[in-house]
Chains A and B, each alone.
Chain A
Amino acid sequence: MSVDADPEEELTIVGDPSTEKQALDHGLSAQEFAEILRLMNRAPNLTELGVFSAMWNEHCSYKSSKLWLRKLPSDGRHVICGPGENAGVVDIGGGLAAVFKMESHNHPSYIEPYQGAATGVGGSLRDVFTMGARPVANVNALRFGAPDHEKTKHLVSGVVAGIGGYGNCVGVPTIAGEVTFHPRYNGNILVNAMTVGIAPADRIFYSAADGIGNPVVYVGSKTGRDGIHGASMASAEFDDATEEKRPTVQVGDPFTEKLLIEACLELMDEDAIIAIQDMGAAGLTSSSVEMAAKGGVGIELVLDRVPQRETGMTAYELMLSESQERMLMILRPGSEAQAKAIFDKWDLDFAVIGETTDTNHLVLIHEDDCVGAIPLSALADAAPVYDRPYEAPPALSPIMGRDVSEAMPADEALRTLMASPSLASRRWVWEQYDNTVMGDTLQIPGGDAGVVRVHGTRKGLAVTSDSTPRYCAAGPLDGGRQAVAEAWRNLIAVGATPLAITNCLNFGNPERPDVMGQFVYCLEGMAEAAHALRFPVVSGNVSLYNETNGRSILPTPTIGGLGLIDDIDLMMTLAFKAEDEDILLLGRTDGHFGQSLYLALLAGREDGAPPPVDLAQEARVGHFVHRLIRDRLVTAVHDVSDGGVAVAIGEMALAGAVGASLTPDLETMDLPLAALLFAEDQARYCVTVPAQLTETVLAEAADEAVPVTRLGKTGRNSIDIAGCASLSLEALRASHEDWLPKLMSGAL
């Protein structure tokens, strides 16, 4: 490579040198500012300082998390592209690939719930179609504060309307998700949005620029002053003055996003694009820096050419705006006219705003002056990486079945749990999302995973989102393992082969050793589970500083799992299908009650160690269930998670409108009834088997060393637990369905 031309020697850079105080105001530390002075050999001007602060903040640089993220396995037989690009890519056969990514939009959603959530969906969609994929499914994981907290209703209604408002308009079905409530999110909700797309496996688009003198093209919406310093905000803690930050929240325009999807996919059919990147956090700064740095080229931008919505915007504002629905592309020279014609057709802005250079610098021109020249190596590779001190989390003792006294009869306990904020139906939420647009939805929310058919084929993609934050808080190592295992289990339960995961790692302030400890141990647990279950992590996002007034959220590593169903005739659902079938519990029950919903909701105890995760057992039971589905030996499958076996049975019964009679042989099992029904041991599934096939299933389970418990039979329209009163499905359904609509209408 030739010696770099140094533009700093040739150009006069206008603007006063910035000060350490300005750096601190931008969220940089004094040490970081000193490092910038060293790298630049001079003090940056304000625009340059803004660029550094955007690239070096936690959100863009992963400076606290990078060391630990490397531990996550990212390779696998199906993996086409792992972390580092806009989204992960896995092979799904037939010449197609699935492209998927999860993004957090926590801080903006707390400040302005509708726009914060809407733009979160927009960002995850762009990450996917940027790589050449048509988005086919959206998923979201939402964590709110206590239901009776003064802000919760406002936040729930705003976030749900925002997600719906955006996803419904762009016409991508929302097929799965989670909504939970806990007081630890009172001042800092979590909004994690995931998108899955499908692309030709040999036509994936990447972000590394290439070549010298190639046009840098801006397409999409015009740039305004919205969202300036959004990425820095996302890297700071909240306090009571947080609402003053409202001007830093971006505003979404799903109409433009829909046009942008169609225009980009149309252009991707031509041979015009060298590299493409969406303008997400830190807008033009991060997109131009990342494309240039990845490609090992320089980049020069003439900021006057950026399409602008407001007048008098400064170079600083243009570089840091987080206006939505914008993309940056490097085109093959000579293809500009062809590309422009497509964007004209869709009435979108198209502007050549610069070119790639051989300077290895980011050079910014505004009003004929050079307003910035920064070596790209300083922005990308020299960003600090911290090995933050951390504390090992305290080890808690397990709570077993014999330690727990029965709070109430089992039928009453089941009804209470299923009507509780933790387990009540989320129908009020997901009925506000279009679940069936695109005409390929095979499973809508309410099951173990959402499923869409791969358009024009007999294949299905299964998607789920999972995390159990109370487990992660009490035992980060097992909590991390469990989050991955549960996602894997949910995919198995619908008949899919789990392929890979994306994630959003939502934690508190990493500068606190106890929070850093949660992060480190959760990641260790995730890495172990991802290894053991061959479930690599191919994309993700980290959201730290989720704290308000010094109190952090529960550690919440949200796992987005993707699985493939080879033949949709072999898709499974959780609904009971017929009367008089045998209900079997697969997997071992020891009676772990630590951190269970039974203790939390019926005894007011949030204590003990979370249930341990035996990954070998997880894999063995899961592979067995997968085979039972493939061999058509089971008619319904549901994983056992929050609330234990009884809740799993309750959900299967409500979904199928068929009841169950439970008559387990407790003496042989040597377990109290409550432990069998409500403990939260892992690696378990409830299945139904037609009576004539039961002996076959039992024999095969014995061969595979998979423990089986006969729970009872399906039938009638009630749940009848031996020794308890009959619980009618009608009554159970009413209490399960009523809670959320009542909360939202103010009736609670």
Chain B
Amino acid sequence: MKAGVIVFPASNCDRDAAVTLAHVTGQSVTMVWHKETALPQLDLVVIPGGFSYGDYLRPGAMAARSPIMRAVVEAAERGVRVLGICNGFQILTEIGLLPGVLMRNAGLTFVSRTVGLTVGTERSPFTRRYARGERLHVPIAHHEGNYLADSETLDRLEEEDRIAFRYTDNPNGSARDIAGILGADRNVLGMMPHPERAADAALGSTDGWRLFAGLVEELQ
């Protein structure tokens, strides 16, 4: 699997994502600068966590308008897998690849902790290695992770089985405990928790590893 990571100014989980991807895929990972206008041939595009453009204006708002994102949208429409983690999830909602918004946490403070998740669906290239209802432990670290969409959208996400992960103990006020959702074609995933920080036994959890391993397997 050929994976690429988009690098915005003040992305700060770009290296973490690349380290995990290189480990899982056994291949080098392409870092794509935000000023580029085209993507190389990739099977997976990761939009990493961080504070792209300082989160000024609104998290993800400026990154969504950067040159590279037009190419990412086109790739997603062609079926390329796109994974947005944390700030990446915020960017995917800003650009409209995923519905809803991520508001400031209900507690109004930044929250950094390892949270419990349940797997909402195994029906996606990202979650195929998990069992529906399985419990995972994955770190979160965000200030704006409070997912909100209108109730019609939320109902549709549930009906279409597009809720990839839910919090077991909601840390940020997200509607229906949503931690991650899939796009309509199931090739785009946005999630606030950081699977790349849960893919190394030395760090305490390997529950995020299968997300990446499942993507690799699916392409074989």
Question: Which residues from chain A sit less than 8 Å from chain B, CB to CB?
Answer: 161, 164-165, 168-171, 253-256, 258-259, 346-347, 430-442, 453, 568
Max chain A C-beta neighbours (<10 A), residue from B55, B141, B197, B200: B141
Question: Which residues of the partner chain A approach B111 to less than 8 Å between Cβ atoms?
Answer: 431-432
6 of the cross-chain contacts (CB-CB < 8 Å) are A254-B10, A431-B109, A431-B112, A432-B109, A436-B203, A437-B16
Let me know if B194 is at the binding interface, CB within 8 A: yes
Which of B46-54, B69-77, B157-165 lines the interface with chain A?
Answer: B46-54
Pair B112/A435 contact, Cβ less than 8 Å: yes
Indicate which residue in A165, A431, A436, A453 contacts B194 across the interface (CB closer than 8 Å). Answer: A436
Please, how many angstroms separate the alpha-carbon atoms of A676 and B12 in the complex?
A: 48
Please, how many angstroms separate the alpha-carbon atoms of A168 and B20 in the complex?
A: 21
A346 with B16, Cβ < 8 A, contacts A255-B51, A255-B53, A436-B112 known? no
Q: How many residues of B contact A (CB 8 A)?
A: 29
Pair B109/A436 contact, Cβ less than 8 Å: no
How far does the Cβ of B106 sit from chain A's closest Cβ, in whole Å?
13
Indicate which residue in B56, B141, B203 contacts A255 across the interface (CB closer than 8 Å). Answer: B56
Let me know if B139 is at the binding interface, CB within 8 A: yes
Please, how many angstroms separate the alpha-carbon atoms of A165 and B206 in the complex?
A: 28
Pair B203/A439 contact, Cβ less than 8 Å: yes
Please, how many angstroms separate the alpha-carbon atoms of A432 and B53 in the complex?
A: 21
New A-B contacts (20) at CB < 8 Å, excluding given A171-B12, A431-B109: A164-B109, A164-B110, A168-B110, A168-B112, A168-B143, A169-B12, A254-B10, A255-B9, A256-B54, A258-B12, A347-B9, A431-B110, A431-B111, A433-B112, A435-B112, A436-B194, A437-B141, A438-B15, A439-B20, A442-B203
Query: Considering only CB atoms, which chain A residue lies closest to B56 in the complex?
Result: A255
How far does the Cβ of B65 sit from chain A's closest Cβ, in whole Å?
15
Indicate which residue in A161, A170, A568 contacts B12 across the interface (CB closer than 8 Å). Answer: A170
Please, how many angstroms separate the alpha-carbon atoms of A568 and B141 in the complex?
A: 24
How far does the Cβ of A136 sit from chain B's closest Cβ, in whole Å?
11
Let me know if B94 is at the binding interface, CB within 8 A: no
How far does the Cβ of A577 sit from chain B's closest Cβ, in whole Å?
15
Pair B12/A255 contact, Cβ less than 8 Å: no
A432 with B110, Cβ < 8 A, contacts A259-B9, A439-B197 known? yes
Max chain B C-beta neighbours (<10 A), residue from A347, A438, A439, A453: A439
Please, how many angstroms separate the alpha-carbon atoms of A652 and B9 in the complex?
A: 42
Let me know if B149 is at the binding interface, CB within 8 A: no
Pair B112/A169 contact, Cβ less than 8 Å: no
Indicate which residue in A253, A258, A439, A440 contacts B196 across the interface (CB closer than 8 Å). Answer: A439
Please, how many angstroms separate the alpha-carbon atoms of A231 and B54 in the complex?
A: 28
How far does the Cβ of B24 sit from chain A's closest Cβ, in whole Å?
13
Pair A436/B12 contact, Cβ less than 8 Å: no
Please, how many angstroms separate the alpha-carbon atoms of A347 and B113 in the complex?
A: 33
Pair B200/A439 contact, Cβ less than 8 Å: yes
Please, how many angstroms separate the alpha-carbon atoms of A440 and B112 in the complex?
A: 15
Pair A255/B110 contact, Cβ less than 8 Å: no
Question: Which residues of the partner chain A approach B12 to less than 8 Å between Cβ atoms?
Answer: 169-171, 258, 437-438
Contact with A along B194-216 (1 / 0, CB 8 A): 10110010110000000000000
Query: Considering only CB atoms, which chain B residue lies closest to A456 in the complex?
Result: B19
Question: Which residues of the partner chain B approach A439 to less than 8 Å between Cβ atoms?
Answer: 15-16, 19-20, 196-197, 200, 203
Please, how many angstroms separate the alpha-carbon atoms of A285 and B113 in the complex?
A: 42
